[in-house]
Amino acid sequence: MVILKSPEEIEKIRKSNRIVAEILAELKAHAKPGVTTGDLDRLSESLTHRRGARPAFKGYRGYPYSLCASVNQEVVHGMPSDGRVLKDGDLVSLDFGVDYQGYFGDAAITVAIGQVSREARRLMDVTEAGLYEGIREARAGNRLGDISAAVQACVEAAGCSVVRDYVGHGIGRELHEDPQIPNYGVKGRGVALKAGMVLAIEPMVNLGTYRVQVLEDGWTVVTADGKLSAHFEHSVAITDRGPEILSLLR
């Protein structure tokens, strides 16, 4: 069941997502060669507490960190570590969420460390473009499959592949609400989209196969072929005036 939000609730989700967007921007500015993903995790947590919010991921199903930091062939749920030193040419996906006054925000960006390869840059650009193609379809009167199909078409036209095993989600009083939002699907199918829905759309895109594996740590998801992966996510409200991206700095 998809929970519809009132304008007052959307304002609260907007506030949470603004915090997420501000913190992701600070993390991006700090993500340089020599910095560890452990450093970024601690920074995310202190910035969150400074704003009177709570890190949404810490403790979620036992996840032990505030930030997910997935480097290169890591797709999602990369666990920050003081031993993981970022180096020139790395791609790091930073996925972050907060709970502020009972409402959640969630977003992700992929950041280039120093100078990355042309292929890596192309992967990042395609993933972000796929996210925006999906967001464009997030309007009342459309169906969920319109979002999914738009993401998939954009990504596959560029010769990249869409991860199947992890999906986007509704967001509000919970980090993960219905509906699940696959990044592949069929136009015209699925849940009817309505004003008041808030959706976290989050394509994970691979340069090679879409197949993934979970490491022994029980969290880190990596590409099956070891090739690069990227991830972008926004929380988006469906309004009478179309999609509003809540996790943007403005």
Part in contact with Co ion (CB under 5 A); list of ranges 71-79, 105-113, 157-165, 182-190: 105-113
Give, in order, the Cα–Cα distances in Å from 250 to each of 61, 194, 216. Answer: 32, 25, 40
**CB 226, min distance to Co ion, A:** 25
Which of Co ion, ligand MF3, none has residue 68 at its interface (CB below 5 to 8 Å by kind)? ligand MF3
In the beta sheet, which residues pair with residue 234?
Answer: 201
Query: Does residue 131 belong to the site contacting Co ion (CB under 5 A)?
Result: no
36 versus 180: smaller Cβ distance to ligand MF3: 180
Query: Does residue 200 belong to the site contacting Co ion (CB under 5 A)?
Result: yes
99 versus 106: smaller Cβ distance to Co ion: 106
116 versus 171: smaller Cβ distance to ligand MF3: 171
**CB 71, min distance to ligand MF3, A:** 15
116 versus 169: smaller Cβ distance to Co ion: 169
Other CB atoms closer than 10 Å to residue 181's CB: what's the count?
23
In the beta sheet, which residues pair with residue 14?
Answer: none
Q: Give residues in contact with ligand MF3 (CB under 6 A).
A: 57, 60-61, 63, 68, 77, 95, 97, 106, 169, 176, 200, 202
Cα separation, 81 vs 245, in Å, equals 31
Q: How many residues bind Co ion (CB under 5 A)?
A: 3
Which of ligand MF3, Co ion, none has residue 74 at its interface (CB below 5 to 8 Å by kind)? none
Residue with token string 């926004």 = 234
**CB 77, min distance to ligand MF3, A:** 5
Which of ligand MF3, Co ion, none has residue 34 at its interface (CB below 5 to 8 Å by kind)? none
Which of Co ion, ligand MF3, none has residue 231 at its interface (CB below 5 to 8 Å by kind)? none
Which of Co ion, ligand MF3, none has residue 100 at its interface (CB below 5 to 8 Å by kind)? none
Q: What is the 3-state secondary structure (H, E, C) of the chain?
A: CCCCCCHHHHHHHHHHHHHHHHHHHHHHHHCCCCCEHHHHHHHHHHHHHHCCCEECCCCHHHCCCCEEEEECCEEECCCCCCCCECCCCCEEEEEEEEEECCEEEEEEEEEECCCCCHHHHHHHHHHHHHHHHHHHCCCCCCEHHHHHHHHHHHHHHCCCEECCCCCEEECCCCCCEEEEECCCCCCCCCCECCCCCEEEECCEEECCCCCEEECCCCCCEEECCCCCEEECEEEEEEECCEEEECCCCC
Binds Co ion by CB under 5 A, chosen from 9, 45, 99, 106 = 106
Query: Does residue 245 belong to the site contacting Co ion (CB under 5 A)?
Result: no
**CB 101, min distance to ligand MF3, A:** 19
Chain residues that interact with Co ion, rule: CB under 5 A: 106, 200, 202
